[in-house]
Chain A
């Protein structure tokens, strides 16, 4: 059986050589991928899944010496013993690769058609054939209708179009194996769906094998026949997709499935975590909340960004938005990137000036221009997407947590209860942001936002940079706090499953307008057509 596998790994180990020895990142991986099949490697950041793929391709990070051990064979070739020159011949022609960040993965100074043509030429296509091949490839990935697509530069394309170009580029050598490393992570969910469908279609049509690497079980389950679950550089569990999803054997796999919103069966009040699975706790079912009084009401909010430079027209980011936030209830705001959902959040706290419209908080009107008195600010707080950026790296966690009280001249309270409320140990106060994980940092910023005891919290994509397990912890903490403090929360996200888990009502934003309003079930499940924001050319 092993001889027929296209990709065959046995006890693959990868270590990074450092001045003090070697740090293992992959500790013995074995797997077989057969021609024409799709295998997914699933794991959180630091699990070694990307390193596994990159060491197969011989594409380790530059300047970082890798020590690779064990066995890795592709179609019988010993990948680990191959000189770089032969590996180069394999890459592009036999093994193609697609990466996470499509914008950064293409040369910004070269038209995309030229980059695809270069890939075709490198794979051995004649000069005359290569140009025709570019047209055929762009057609194959569904970009034929875009005018002058081959002559465009990467920055002139949308994220979905960029990723389609990357796929065309990876296919230029007609590879037998396509390695896709988190190809949809940086994309909006609707666009990600289209890319997944495209990959499934291409794999079937070309009969190639697909090695799909992702942190997202929900995405993987739609594409892969087999799944390898990785953690800390080791395989936790291996099996067919059905087996892994329906009947996981390991606690970690169970937690990974349960803490991913939208995959864990009936809606629950909290997301499952590994600790819960180990201790056998199961959160209670989700109960409908009864919304309290209106805390924030917004009427006809308009925001226009000024154009840059001479003769540049402004861009209308919000075109008359109205909404209400109620105490103890969460309002979800979904939409593609550029739809204006973050602008709305920023306009509410005055980070962006609104041209017209009204914002009331607890019945009092706030200036739409963004000018706020210190007391205006206390009632409405904001949690940023990038937690590490939102904390000054030169100040300790304790200093950052006490800043709100210092600003408002309030008596400085104790740090322990603030940290305990978000489930963090007290000794974190003395540390600096660089020493904490993303999930811990986001819980710190939540604690800081709550230091002023606001009535309303705006959460802007607060978990999009986190692993699913950290995401579950952050959201559970937020749910606890909402119940305890009767908070009104505006939850901005591009992830529909997440919004479905967390929110009571949801608004869909599209081109600066609120497209739809309703309960979560109505909006997301009953009318998928209008909720889907199709990519426009």
Chain B
């Protein structure tokens, strides 16, 4: 074909879209707040006070909630907690999904069929329903929420691992390496794994904000962390009981949650498009 478009695609590649830049800025800010958390809080986030349901003021920038907690301080403390719970759940999903599927893929057809039937089964249960049932069976709390979300998102990592594996194994350069005498291990390590790692990192960036949101949903439904722990979901759950007196106490964590997922989703989506435009079919 004498009509090649490759050079034009290359021209486009070097431009960073403004939205992606916004996303990166948000993510950097979030990580900063999470790391520096205790240094930034103006008040003790766990300190009760009689100054309840106060509107934002110079002392309490975001006001206080129905128990007199400083909302801004709880929001900052919650940043670290929410990110940690989300990242924990996403890491569990990554661990289960990637490890199981890689083992199954290297052991051959029967192992592959077995393991991926398991993932198909989990995929058939809507995520939140699985998590609800799981948490119901064990005790509600941070660990079971993380485990539940981890297991329910694990198929997303398994699917992408398998798709990338198959795609790479079919590449002529893998056959070329085999003809040159490369062992199975060398082919996997040198040619296949780098691509799988790229795909998994991208998938992690996409899954992480969903885990953070679902943790909030679980907390909102009363099945997450203990009521005193100020994750964003808990703050929302507590404050929705009292919307009329202190709407700012609901709005603050909801906006924090929205901005955080907004930034992370933008970064994840940019990574997905940059890494391999064909892979979106599995990343849904």
User: Is A45 in contact with B173, judged by CB distance below 8 angstroms?
Assistant: no
A451 and chain B: residue at smallest CB distance: B180
Chain B residues within 8 Å of A349, by CB? 179
Q: How far is the CA of A384 from the CA of B178 in the complex (A)?
A: 13
User: Is A43 in contact with B172, judged by CB distance below 8 angstroms?
Assistant: no
Given A18-B8, A49-B2, A351 and B181 contact (CB-CB distance below 8 Å)? no
Taken residue by residue from 235 to 268, chain B's Cβ proximity to chain A (1 for < 8 Å, 0 otherwise) reads as 0000000000000000000000000000000000
A400 and chain B: residue at smallest CB distance: B173
3 nearest A-B pairs in the assembled complex, by CB-CB distance: A389-B172, A377-B181, A45-B2
Q: Is the interface of B mostly helix, strand, loop or mixed?
A: helix
User: Is A403 in contact with B177, judged by CB distance below 8 angstroms?
Assistant: yes
Name the interface residues of B83-138: CB closer than 8 Å to any CB of A: none
Chain B residues within 8 Å of A449, by CB? 180
Chain B residues within 8 Å of A237, by CB? none
Q: How far is the CA of A177 from the CA of B94 in the complex (A)?
A: 59
User: Is A64 in contact with B5, judged by CB distance below 8 angstroms?
Assistant: yes
Q: How far is the CA of A389 from the CA of B175 in the complex (A)?
A: 10
Name the interface residues of B164-210: CB closer than 8 Å to any CB of A: 171-173, 175-183, 186, 190-191, 194-195
User: Is B182 in contact with A394, judged by CB distance below 8 angstroms?
Assistant: no
User: Is A372 in contact with B173, judged by CB distance below 8 angstroms?
Assistant: no
Chain A residues within 8 Å of B190, by CB? 392, 403
Partner of B4, one of A43, A45, A215: A45
A101 nearest CB across to chain B (Å): 8
Taken residue by residue from 442 to 479, chain A's Cβ proximity to chain B (1 for < 8 Å, 0 otherwise) reads as 00010011001000000000000000000000000000
Name the interface residues of A380-407: CB closer than 8 Å to any CB of B: 381-382, 384, 386, 389-392, 394, 403-404, 407
B284 interface residue per 8 A CB criterion: no
Given A390-B172, A391-B173, A407 and B2 contact (CB-CB distance below 8 Å)? no
Partner of A378, one of B2, B15, B177, B181: B181
Q: How far is the CA of A48 from the CA of B173 in the complex (A)?
A: 31
Interface size for B (C-beta < 8 A) is 27
A67 nearest CB across to chain B (Å): 14
A20 interface residue per 8 A CB criterion: yes
| Given A382-B176, A390-B172, 9 other A-B residues pairs in contact with their CB atoms under 8 A | A18-B11, A46-B4, A54-B3, A350-B178, A351-B178, A384-B172, A384-B175, A389-B173, A403-B180
A374 interface residue per 8 A CB criterion: yes
A286 interface residue per 8 A CB criterion: no
Q: How far is the CA of A358 from the CA of B107 in the complex (A)?
A: 29
User: Is B180 in contact with A377, judged by CB distance below 8 angstroms?
Assistant: yes
A452 and chain B: residue at smallest CB distance: B180
18 A–B contacts, CB within 8 A, in A order:
A16-B8, A18-B8, A19-B11, A19-B15, A48-B2, A50-B3, A100-B1, A182-B1, A182-B2, A372-B181, A378-B181, A381-B179, A384-B175, A384-B176, A390-B172, A390-B175, A392-B191, A452-B180
Q: How far is the CA of A115 from the CA of B256 in the complex (A)?
A: 54
A408 interface residue per 8 A CB criterion: yes
B29 nearest CB across to chain A (Å): 30
Q: Is the interface of A mostly helix, strand, loop or mixed?
A: loop
Q: How far is the CA of A100 from the CA of B173 in the complex (A)?
A: 27
Chain B residues within 8 Å of A445, by CB? 176
Partner of B182, one of A19, A101, A403: A403
User: Is A20 in contact with B176, judged by CB distance below 8 angstroms?
Assistant: no
A382 and chain B: residue at smallest CB distance: B179
Given A389-B172, A392-B191, A61 and B5 contact (CB-CB distance below 8 Å)? yes
Max chain A Cβ within 10 angstroms of own Cβ: one of B3, B177, B182 = B3
Given A390-B173, A390-B176, A374 and B2 contact (CB-CB distance below 8 Å)? no
Q: How far is the CA of A408 from the CA of B191 in the complex (A)?
A: 17
User: Is B2 in contact with A47, judged by CB distance below 8 angstroms?
Assistant: yes
Given A16-B8, A18-B8, A391-B173, A377 and B179 contact (CB-CB distance below 8 Å)? yes
User: Is B181 in contact with A407, judged by CB distance below 8 angstroms?
Assistant: yes
Q: How far is the CA of A377 from the CA of B176 in the complex (A)?
A: 11
User: Is B3 in contact with A215, judged by CB distance below 8 angstroms?
Assistant: no
Max chain B Cβ within 10 angstroms of own Cβ: one of A46, A386, A407, A445 = A407
Chain A residues within 8 Å of B5, by CB? 61, 64
Max chain A Cβ within 10 angstroms of own Cβ: one of B172, B177, B183 = B172
Chain A residues within 8 Å of B176, by CB? 382, 384, 390-391, 445, 448
B66 nearest CB across to chain A (Å): 55
B176 and chain A: residue at smallest CB distance: A390
User: Is B1 in contact with A45, judged by CB distance below 8 angstroms?
Assistant: yes
A51 interface residue per 8 A CB criterion: yes
User: Is A43 in contact with B2, judged by CB distance below 8 angstroms?
Assistant: yes
Chain A residues within 8 Å of B1, by CB? 45, 50, 100-101, 182
Chain B residues within 8 Å of A19, by CB? 11-12, 15
Given A51-B3, A61-B3, A392 and B181 contact (CB-CB distance below 8 Å)? no
Chain A residues within 8 Å of B178, by CB? 350-351
Name the interface residues of A76-133: CB closer than 8 Å to any CB of B: 100-101
A272 nearest CB across to chain B (Å): 22
Given A45-B2, A392-B191, A407-B186, A351 and B11 contact (CB-CB distance below 8 Å)? no
A43 nearest CB across to chain B (Å): 7
User: Is A408 in contact with B11, judged by CB distance below 8 angstroms?
Assistant: no
